[in-house]
Amino acid sequence: MAAAIDHWHRLMEARDPHGLHDLIADDCVFQSPAVHTPQLGKAITIKYLSAAQAVLGTPSFRYVEEWIGETSAVLEFALDLDGIQVNGVDIIHWNDAGKITNFRVMIRPVKALQAVMPAMAAVLARES
């Protein structure tokens, strides 16, 4: 398995966003299912991923499938968020240094996205 994905899994299992600094490339692009424009840069990517970890990192969160290539991976996840079944994928690309350069999140169904969006907004507002 790719070192970047191993590192990502360790952070998710530990529920610790502090290790993101070492994993995210300076020029990383974060793509959210709730924001129509890509978010550019390490700081904003870490902010979104930290918020996502706070919202989605429930005890029920689990990766259910993985497809890993040489410089990219698709990780399918599932969780229960206040009685709503959330299903999604993290699409991750990394560079030769093992740093994540692109992180795209997709969530379904619409009801799940509608539950995640205000929860994420609340966490992001507290961190601003």
Average pLDDT over residues 65-76: 97
User: Model-level pTM greater than 0.75?
Assistant: yes
Distance CA 97, CA 109 (A): 35
Which amino acid appears at position 88 of this protein?
G
Preceding omega of 33 cis (within 30 degrees of 0): no
Report which of 71, 74, 73 is spatially closest to residue 97, judged by C-alpha positions: 71
Give 128's pLDDT tier (boundaries 50, 70, 90).
Answer: low
Starting at the edge strand found earlier in the chain, the sheet holding 84-94 runs 39-40, 24-31, 100-108, 84-94, 72-81, 62-68
Out of 2-11, 52-61, 62-71, the most confident range is 62-71
> Which pLDDT value is given to residue 1?
57
Write the CATH number for 49: 3.10.450.50
**pLDDT tens profile 1-30:** 589 999 999 988 887 778 899 999 999 999
> Which pLDDT value is given to residue 81?
94
> Which pLDDT value is given to residue 13?
86
Number of domains the chain is built from: 1
Average pLDDT over residues 89-110: 97
Parent domain of 18 = 3-127
